[in-house]
């Protein structure tokens, strides 16, 4: 009777010994200096990303879709005639919605009355010649685009700017670490850890409401510069 519990006790002892070894994570005990360095590099954009839509209304969904298709086909044909390649044109969405009005009755109450349908077709375009951006916007509005989305200026190959910003960030971090070590009266040791965070330019809205074909003969567009920013966090060992 005294021997029966022994296997259970042996298994429990094995589990108790094994579990802490698998789960235990000890912090690195070495003294260290941790700093964050920043680097930034700007470059002129060489590509514009546009998003706009054609919206048409009619009594029936079929009539609205047909009118929309005709207008969008003209827009796409004009873009291709201006040198925009097929790979740079992408349909971003098509919406078909009923259209309502809310007239006020004799008693002052409003009621919902269906007046037809509206169809919206959104197109995303990559313009690889930034100088053509304003002219393209002007042309598509004159051909039927009447709703806007957004515009952003980007770079087809930003790797060079990011690499420059990355080197600047590391240089900045090393300089900070040396200053801290000198002020603390210690010697800067080897690098123990490096982590990085890169930020890229964000798209900016350019048309929040319906566009009007008579707004301007040519749309003024300024591309500016894109700034690519890198942050690196570096940890160094220290010696007395």
Please indicate whether residue 176 or residue 4 has the higher confidence score (pLDDT).
176
Lowest mean pLDDT among 20-24, 78-82, 127-131: 20-24
Q: What percent of the chain has pLDDT over 90?
A: 55
For residue 235, give both structure tokens: 């940890």
- Band of residue 112 on the pLDDT scale cut at 50, 70, 90: confident
pLDDT band at 218 (very low <50, low <70, confident <90, very high): low
Instruction: Judge contact between 195 and 235, C-beta under 8 A.
Output: no
Helices (H), 3-53: 6-23
Architecture category of domain 28-43+158-207+226-240 in CATH: 2-Layer Sandwich (3.30)
CA atoms within 13 A on the CB side of 129: 10
- Any residues with CB less than 8 A from the CB of 122 and at least 6 apart, and which? 51, 52, 53, 91, 92, 93, 94, 147, 149
pLDDT category of residue 182 using cuts at 50, 70 and 90 = very high
Distance separating alpha carbons of residues 52 and 90, to the nearest angstrom: 11
pLDDT at 179 over 80: yes
What is the phi/psi pair of residue 118, to 5°?
Answer: -130, 140
pLDDT score recorded for residue 20: 53
Residue 79: is its pLDDT beyond 60? yes
Tens digit of pLDDT for each residue in 146-177? 887 678 898 999 999 999 999 999 999 999 99
Reported as a single tens digit per residue, the pLDDT across 86-98 is 999 999 999 999 9
State the Cα–Cα distance between residues 134 and 211, nearest whole angstrom: 14
- The more confidently predicted of residues 19 and 158 is 158
* Residue from 49, 88, 91, 95 nearest 72 by CA: 91
What residues does each domain of the chain span?
28-43+158-207+226-240, 45-102+111-155
Q: Quick one: pLDDT at residue 239?
A: 84
CATH number 3.30.70.2970 is the correct assignment for the domain at 45-102+111-155: yes
Mean pLDDT of the residues in the chain: 83
Report the alpha-carbon distance of residue 122 to residue 140 in Å, rounded.
12
The pairs formed by 158-161 with CB atoms below 8 angstroms and a separation of 24 or more are 158/43, 158/200, 158/226, 158/228, 160/43, 161/41, 161/42, 161/43, 161/226, 161/228
């Amino acid at each position: 009777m005294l021997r029966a519990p022994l296997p259970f006790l042996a298994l429990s002892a094995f589990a108790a010994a094994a579990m802490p070894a698998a789960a235990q994570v000890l912090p690195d005990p070495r003294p260290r200096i941790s700093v964050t360095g920043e680097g930034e590099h700007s470059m002129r954009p060489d590509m514009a990303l546009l998003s706009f839509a054609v919206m048409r209304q009619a009594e029936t969904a079929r009539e609205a879709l047909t009118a929309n298709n005709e207008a969008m086909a003209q827009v796409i044909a004009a873009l291709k005639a201006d040198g925009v390649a097929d790979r740079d044109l992408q349909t971003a969405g098509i919406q078909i919605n009923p259209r309502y009005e809310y007239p006020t009755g004799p008693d002052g109450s409003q009621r919902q009355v269906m007046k037809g349908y509206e169809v919206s077709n959104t197109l995303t375009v990559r313009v690889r010649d930034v100088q053509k951006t304003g002219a393209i916007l002007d042309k598509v509005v004159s051909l039927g685009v009447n709703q806007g989305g957004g515009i952003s200026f980007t770079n087809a190959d930003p790797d060079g700017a990011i690499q420059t910003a990355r080197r600047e960030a590391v240089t900045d971090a090393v300089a900070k670490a040396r200053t801290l070590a000198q002020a603390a009266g210690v010697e800067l040791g080897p690098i123990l850890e490096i982590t990085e965070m890169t930020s890229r330019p964000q798209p900016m809205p350019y048309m929040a409401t319906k566009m009007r074909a008579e707004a301007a003969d040519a749309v003024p567009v300024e591309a500016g510069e894109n700034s690519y920013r890198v942050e690196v966090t570096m940890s160094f060992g220290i010696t007395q």
